[in-house]
A and B are shown apart, each in its own frame.
Chain A
């Protein structure tokens, strides 16, 4: 590693297996001709193929779609949506507002972070069980050293999205996977342990379903990037249609100042 020769070997050329385009001729997408072989693909089918290099069944693609649909909330109070909406109100461009809102969604306490940790939890739990460990013991150990991601939700511990997602999983015949079943078992164990506030949340259910589809934590993380996307354009559009600057205008007295008292600037000049 301690050598610039590796950099020299990669300079000035793109060596790739994922694809390329030759303007005026053709485009290749992960070893397939995009126009010849993939022109009829559903966008989600293409997206998940791009992430994993694997093909998914129509039932799986339907379920993946549902995961996005059920959490597309055009509520401009939600932090990531608020970014898109503020961009509209401030008369910025839609791409800038929505790109920033998507990046903001890769957060520690919602979105990207908890999802990644939830699938990691299920994969490690399954590994522990496969090696003979008891699920309850595994959960007890986890609780001592970590949060259990995939359970618990601020404001209201009941997640309104879950019955709908579970229904589609059942409809598509994808509700019998090991991780999905385990997700309910974990919830029951947590309840029995007195952690009744730790009910399964959306990260938990989606992570378990995607673990059953064979997604790795990184693949799951990337799959989830546009998960909130559909709710963002309405926020930008509505804010851009209202008088400029009227989304959450903040008067001076809506700021609670908690810092040091007024004082004179101690220096006379920058010279």
Chain B
């Protein structure tokens, strides 16, 4: 048998004496999951603990939980939910529905990669309004080619927005009231100035990015959390469309702009 092992500082399991594959005790960051945590632990505490050795204070947990509520369902207009519904309406498997939501919701337009981009940029820009003037400039073409398509708008801002949506302002205000954390508070005070500089209104991706930064998450962690936290809505909407049936689901008209049949007509 191989002596190769998986290394982790997150999880430790002790086996039952009669079976090396059966869990007698599981520890998450040193805490006994089934013996002590279950029944005494908020789901959001477990979520944070998977990413951190130590629990944050209650305000930080409350902030993340509030954001989780806000992100739980982007709604049926969102492309990730639309993708999940495409899976649901055709009777695709549950995992395929969530894979569809994850794949579409992963991108640089209102998706998890936009959160990653915003966190990366904003960490560098900080809370110095002057430095944000560079944010509205097009991305340098000197960067290494990437599997991701190029950015088409400054991350965290709505490329098609006119003013900051009420829902975004409400979320920002709520988070600022809970946590008094630096980035979210600064964003609440200065978002109008930022919007003037960038030329676009703030988007919910930006609020999520600022929250993750304030809570000490890395851009990679923020990207993962954004993907995870939006899945409940995808699941629910997909199942709803499965029940409703395909006849109630849009199959849009098409305008084919390169049609051989049209070319053949005299």
Contacts and interface: CB of A to CB of B under 8 A. Distances in A.
A267 B55 CA distance: 11
Nearest to A53: B258
Given A28-B256, A255-B5, 16 more contacts: A2-B200, A12-B250, A13-B252, A16-B256, A17-B256, A252-B14, A252-B21, A255-B8, A255-B11, A255-B13, A256-B8, A257-B12, A259-B11, A264-B31, A269-B39, A270-B40
B95 A96 contact: yes
Interface residues on A, range: 35 or more
25 contacts: A2-B160, A2-B162, A2-B199, A4-B160, A4-B161, A12-B250, A14-B253, A17-B257, A17-B258, A28-B258, A30-B258, A92-B95, A93-B93, A106-B147, A255-B5, A257-B9, A259-B8, A259-B11, A259-B29, A260-B9, A260-B30, A260-B53, A264-B36, A265-B32, A267-B40
B7 A258 contact: yes
Nearest to B40: A269
B146 interface: yes
Interface in A38-63: none
B99 interface: yes
A163 interface: no
A99 B53 contact: no
B252 A260 contact: no
B30 A256 contact: no
A253 B20 contact: yes
B260 A250 contact: no
Contact of B21 (A6, A13, A99, A251): A251
A19 interface: yes
Contacts, number: 157
Contacts of B253: 12-14
Interface of A: 1-4, 6-7, 12-20, 26, 28, 30-33, 37, 92-93, 95-96, 99-100, 103, 106, 112-113, 116-117, 120, 146, 217, 221, 249-270
Contact of B260 (A12, A33, A95): A33
The 10 closest A-B pairs by CB, nearest first: A259-B9, A251-B20, A257-B12, A265-B36, A252-B15, A31-B258, A260-B30, A120-B145, A256-B5, A17-B258
